[in-house]
Amino acid sequence: MKIYIYARVSTKKQADRGLSIDAQVENAINMARMSHQREPDGVFIDMGVSGSVELAERPEGGQLFNIADDGDVIIAVKLDRLFRDTVDGLLTANELVLDRGVQIITGDFGELDIHSPMRKFLFTQALAMAEFERAKAVERTQDVKRKQSRSGAYCGGYVPIGKEVIEQDGKRMLVDDEDAEHMLQIMTDLRQIRGLSYRAIEHAMLEEHGYTVSYKTVERQLKARGIE
């Protein structure tokens, strides 16, 4: 029998909310000590992997899925660390628990004993609730971003040449960058006068002028102005 620990975070925000890898692993190890009075035989960690990816398709989760065998134990702090959604949870649990004889334990559900209809019903309910909570969290995030966008606040992502992000009235705002025209003129000269490639312009902008700009941005900005 082998005992395996699984942990996953997809974003820094999850780590800030107490779902850090260290916290997950520490809690799971304590669960192994309490349930089996021994240390785990392996720890599998997926960093920056979205919960929308099935366990078997994750880098570390896939390895764990492939090696777990009859009598082995998988421990995770929460159901949503292991499973993508209700369907994935049921299919994965059927494969591991019913077909292979693997024991799965999570901190928020306990042992996934799905041999009886009642236990399988409770497991399905728990998966559905976790899926619902994830969907609501995504919905809340989208609502906040829409409100920020309507108010003119910067919501993250690509900052185009000609714009910069500043703090204004407690909000991050996208405003005109006073250096924009100067940067564009430099890029134009590097292309038309010196005949540099887009990658060479990226390098020259940093080394000669102190501006950080990607070659893709250079290409996009110059082509937008009819400069090939």
Residue of 10, 20, 50, 214 marked active site: 10
pLDDT in tens, 39-87: 999 999 998 888 888 999 999 999 999 999 999 999 999 998 999 889 9
Active site residue 149: no
- Mind listing the pLDDT tens digit for each residue in 156-165? 655 555 555 5
Q: Which of 43, 45, 42, 57 is nearest to 7 (CA)?
A: 45
CB 57 within 8 A of CB 47: no
Query: Does residue 43 contact residue 76 with C-beta atoms inside 8 Å?
Result: no
pLDDT in tens, 90-144: 999 999 999 999 999 999 999 998 999 999 999 999 999 888 887 887 787 677 6
Structural domains in the chain plus CATH codes: 3-146 (3.40.50.1390), 153-228 (no CATH)
